Structure 1
Amino acid sequence: MSNNRIIASLCYFSIFFAGIILPLIVWLIVPEKDVKKHAKAAFFSHLIMYIPIIIAVIIAIFASFAQTDDVMVNSNYSISVIITLLVTAVVVGIVFIWNIYRGIKVLTSKEVL
């Protein structure tokens, strides 16, 4: 098994331990094109996880500041926060599984890196 294949798969598996930092470092430092391609893909797929998390935090902050005495308004904010958190959980789960799948695929692939 080549070092390039291991480094490329580690970029995907870094979702467990290094987040976006390892793929970014590999993307910027490693000279091999195939490894750079996988590092870039892993970096952006890890970055996708943070977008709904940031949106969920912003909606939760706005909902906490918008508390009123009107029960309907408060329930609408609560529902929007719950829906946003559910969408965030689904997106994070899909991206997590996708990175594991891509890491295994790169590691077990027959093509030369």
Structure 2
Amino acid sequence: MNPNVRRFVSAFCYFSLFFAPFLFPAVVYFAVPDQEVIQHAKRAFLSHLFPLIAIPLGIIISAETEFNMKAIIVSVILFGLTSLAIMVWNIMQGIKVFTR
């Protein structure tokens, strides 16, 4: 595979958090035979799954505690900030792969 195409596809696996989270990396994982791209697709896929699970879990916890302010704050801190950190990590990894 052309190194420029490899970098582009690998970076877009991380950037797909904004347009096709976990779907694009999953398709790339199964469709592209290049091992380096597969590794990046797997890492991106796993990092996209956390917010998909964490945000609804935070909402459920808040609802189960009858929207107690302490539960909402803890949910935002645990799940919201972690999801934000993962989003920043994906952007940094995409830039790192693309500029390498």
Q: How far off its partner does 1:29 sit?
A: 1.1
Q: How far off its partner does 1:97 sit?
A: 0.6
TM, length-normalised to structure 1: 0.79
**Cα distance in 1 between the residues matched to 2:80 and 2:72:** 12
Name the larger-Rg structure: 1
**Cα distance in 2 between the residues matched to 1:11 and 1:20:** 8
Match of 1:59 in 2: 61
TM, length-normalised to structure 2: 0.88
Q: Check whether the contact 1:5–1:107 (CA below 8 A) recurs between aligned residues.
A: yes
Matches within 5 A, 1:17-36: 17-36=19-38
Question: Which structure shows the higher helix fraction?
Answer: 2
Consecutive unaligned residues in structure 1, runs of 5 or more: 65-73
Q: Deviations over 1:39-89 (max 9, x none)?
A: 00000011122232122121122123xxxxxxxxx8xx3311221123222
1:101 equivalenced with 2:92 (yes/no):
yes
Matches within 5 A, 1:3-42: 3-42=5-44
Q: Check whether the contact 1:13–1:100 (CA below 8 A) recurs between aligned residues.
A: yes
**Cα distance in 2 between the residues matched to 1:81 and 1:93:** 16
**Cα distance in 2 between the residues matched to 1:2 and 1:52:** 34
Q: Between Structure 1 and Structure 2, how many residues are aligned?
A: 98
* Aligned pair partner of 1:79 in 62, 70, 77: 70
Match of 2:79 in 1: 88
AA aligned opposite 2:86: V
Q: How far off its partner does 1:9 sit?
A: 0.4
**Cα distance in 2 between the residues matched to 1:81 and 1:55:** 11
Identity of aligned residues (%): 35
AA aligned opposite 2:42: K
State the superposition RMSD in angstroms: 1.5
AA aligned opposite 1:101: M
